[in-house]
Amino acid sequence: MKYSDNIEEVAELQPDYLGFIFYEDSARNFEESSIPEIPSTINKTGVFVNADINFVIKKITTLGLQAVQLHGHESPEYCDTLRHTQYILDDVLLKKPEIIKVFSIKDSFNFEELKPYETVCDYFLFDTKGKLPGGNGYTFDWNVLNDYPSTKPFFLSGGIGSNQVKDVEKFIESPASKYCYALDVNSKFEIEPGLKNIELLKEFIKSLSFRK
């Protein structure tokens, strides 16, 4: 789930991850110097797009990010550097963040692209290919994931909305979801960029039978 202006209300829903977007071309770009206090059970996640690696390292260190989501063309070497960097703040060694590498899908996908990233990231995330690196607001053909060759857990993303509960449940019941670790939701639950519709989120979470 991506950061919103009503962050306290979102945090009350206890998402496993809460994303903060650090991308100037995004209407949701997070420019604050600190992150509001949220429960320790929620992973603060930085979302980056082809950012200078030193910029990412600085954000991880100063904001205490517990995960990074890489939406650009970041190389395996880039991911490996983030994975092996020591993050120190005020002489305290911080826990290394989880690395989530994003891949965009439309009607097909060459899963060979995943192989160089297998050992340098913790999760894959599959999003919809579009004009923007994320936040396009529509889904890709989830049947493509029937051919998923890896055992690495992945996030399912891309325009997931409240009207897709049955579709999500059908996917979760299918073999394609065997390694699906999480759902990533954002734009379909916004009143405007950066402002979440809390009631819609509550209804969506409540409606998912596998969460009950």
Would residue 79 count as lying in a domain?
yes
pLDDT band at 32, cuts 50/70/90?
A: confident
Question: Residue 151 sits in which domain range?
Answer: 7-211
| CA atoms of 156 and 45, how far apart (whole Å) | 16
Tell me the average pLDDT across 176-204: 91
Residue 117 has pLDDT above 90, yes or no: yes
Q: Which pLDDT score, from 0 to 100, does residue 135 have?
A: 56
Residue 2 lies in a domain: no
Q: Is residue 1 part of a domain?
A: no
Provide CB contacts within 8 A for 47, sequence distance 6+.
Answer: 2, 19, 20, 21, 22, 23, 68, 69, 71, 134
The 10s digit of each residue's pLDDT in 143-180 is: 999 999 999 999 999 889 888 899 999 999 999 999 99
How far is residue 194's CA from residue 170's CA, in Å, rounded to a whole number? Answer: 29
Q: Where are the beta strands (DSSP E) in the chain?
A: 17-22, 43-48, 67-70, 88-89, 92-93, 98-105, 123-128, 154-156, 180-183, 190-192, 195-196
Mean pLDDT score, 20-47: 92
Q: Is residue 111 part of a domain?
A: yes
Residue 36: inside a domain: yes
- Residue 102 maps to which CATH number? 3.20.20.70
Dihedral sign for Cα atoms in the order 212, 98, 132, 56: positive
Q: What amino acid is encoded at 152 in this protein?
A: K
pLDDT at 192: 87
- For Cα atoms 126, 130, 136, give the angle at the middle one, nearest 5 degrees: 80
Say how many residues make up the chain. 212
What pLDDT score was predicted for residue 194? 82
Question: What does the pLDDT look like over 83-113, one tens digit per residue?
Answer: 999 999 999 999 999 999 999 998 899 999 9
- Give the C-alpha separation, 57 to 103, whole Å: 22
In a domain, 137, yes or no: yes
Q: What is the reported pLDDT for 188?
A: 86
Look at the chain and report how many structural domains it folds into.
1
pTM to 2 decimals?
0.92
Q: pLDDT-based confidence at 210, cuts 50/70/90?
A: low
Strand partners, 18: 44
What are the pLDDT digits (tens) for 132-150? Answer: 665 556 789 999 999 999 9
Say yes or no to pLDDT of 4 above 90: no
